[in-house]
């Protein structure tokens, strides 16, 4: 892998870090938070990538690549004749991707351009919904596609999160506090719905969308993701008086308890194809 600071993609050494991106990139557990997110969603994403027919020789753009599990999978799949460009605000988490056909690029999707007409597939999971100007971001991703290239976006509808047999209000107070903070940082909790709107408005062909959710068991690796989500937001939601330290501690104990089970967000997958 080579790490590019924007040599091929419109360079801007002073790339504006997304100050308002809600998750603290420098938090010492941020990489683990991202890896546990992959543990929840990768199986379904990979199933859908296989269904799309990703094949040897494809050129793929992975946007907001996080800790890179999907970029790594794609690199193996497209092989030495293909290439994967993995872009993120913080590409250092992609250092472990050493294959020659992977390039990691520091890029802010809000402010930087992508190469036009360059990719057979553009995939992005849980990124667009963090951006204030989502239609502009999706239009940028579509411009990066070759004619006939495929767009695959995944963003959530958070309504189902923490629904449980434990009670109507199970973890709903910490959810309201966390999502309130996220919303003020530009995060759209119904993001997946707007991906579909954008794909239709941009005139993509073969547009389709579907949703999936995962049942999370307390104390599991998947539960750990939600615990780290809460730990990450804790200083700010407590400082704002949205929940108390004691309530956060109690919620973390509830999430660690194997006796609890809850539903994840619904992750909406939107597919479309650029006209030939």
Q: CA-CA distance, 83 to 77, in Å (whole number)?
A: 10
**Which one, 125 or 260, has the nearer CB to ligand SAM?**
125
Taking the complex as a whole, the smallest distance from the CB of residue 99 to ligand SAM amounts, in Å, to 18
**Which one, 156 or 164, has the nearer CB to ligand SAM?**
156
**Which one, 225 or 234, has the nearer CB to ligand SAM?**
225
Number of H helices, E strands in the chain: 7, 10
The 10 Å Cβ neighbour count of residue 110 is: 18
Sequence-distant (6+) residues with CB within 8 A of 52 are: 121, 150, 152, 271
**Which one, 62 or 120, has the nearer CB to ligand SAM?**
62
Q: Which residue has the tokens 């109690």?
A: 250
Q: Exposed (0-12), middle (13-18) or buried (19+): which is 77, by Cβ within 10 Å?
A: middle
Taking the complex as a whole, the smallest distance from the CB of residue 168 to ligand SAM amounts, in Å, to 27
Taking the complex as a whole, the smallest distance from the CB of residue 65 to ligand SAM amounts, in Å, to 6
Q: CA-CA distance, 26 to 232, in Å (whole number)?
A: 11
**Which one, 140 or 260, has the nearer CB to ligand SAM?**
140
Taking the complex as a whole, the smallest distance from the CB of residue 11 to ligand SAM amounts, in Å, to 15
Taking the complex as a whole, the smallest distance from the CB of residue 165 to ligand SAM amounts, in Å, to 28
Angle at CA of residue 191, ends 256 and 164, nearest 5°: 30
Residues that bind ligand SAM (CB under 6 A): 18, 21, 34, 37-38, 64, 66, 88-90, 107-110, 125-127, 130-131
């Amino acid at each position: 892998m080579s790490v590019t600071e924007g040599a091929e993609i419109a360079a801007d050494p002073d790339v504006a870090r997304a100050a308002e991106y809600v998750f603290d990139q420098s938090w010492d557990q941020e990489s683990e938070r991202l890896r546990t997110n992959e543990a929840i969603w990768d199986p379904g994403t990979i199933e859908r990538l296989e269904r799309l027919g990703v094949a040897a020789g494809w050129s793929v753009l992975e946007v907001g690549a996080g800790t890179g599990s999907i970029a790594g999978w794609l690199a193996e799949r497209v092989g030495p004749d293909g290439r994967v460009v993995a872009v993120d605000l913080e590409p250092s988490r992609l250092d472990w991707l050493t294959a020659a056909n992977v390039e990691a690029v520091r890029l802010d999707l809000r402010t930087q351009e992508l190469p036009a007409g360059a990719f057979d597939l553009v995939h992005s999971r849980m990124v667009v919904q963090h951006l204030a100007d989502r239609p502009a971001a999706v239009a940028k991703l579509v411009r990066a596609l070759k004619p006939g290239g495929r767009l695959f976006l995944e963003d959530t509808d958070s309504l189902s999160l923490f629904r449980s047999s434990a009670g109507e209000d199970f973890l709903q107070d910490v959810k309201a506090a966390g999502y309130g903070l996220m919303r003020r940082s530009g995060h759209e909790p119904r993001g997946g719905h707007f991906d579909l709107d954008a794909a239709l408005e941009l005139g993509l062909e073969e547009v389709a969308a579907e949703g999936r959710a995962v049942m999370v068991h307390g104390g599991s690796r998947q539960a750990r993701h939600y615990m780290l989500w809460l730990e990450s937001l804790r200083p700010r939601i407590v400082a704002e008086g949205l929940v108390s330290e004691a309530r956060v501690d109690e919620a973390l104990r509830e999430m660690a308890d194997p006796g609890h089970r809850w539903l994840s967000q619904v992750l909406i997958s939107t597919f479309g194809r650029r006209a030939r």
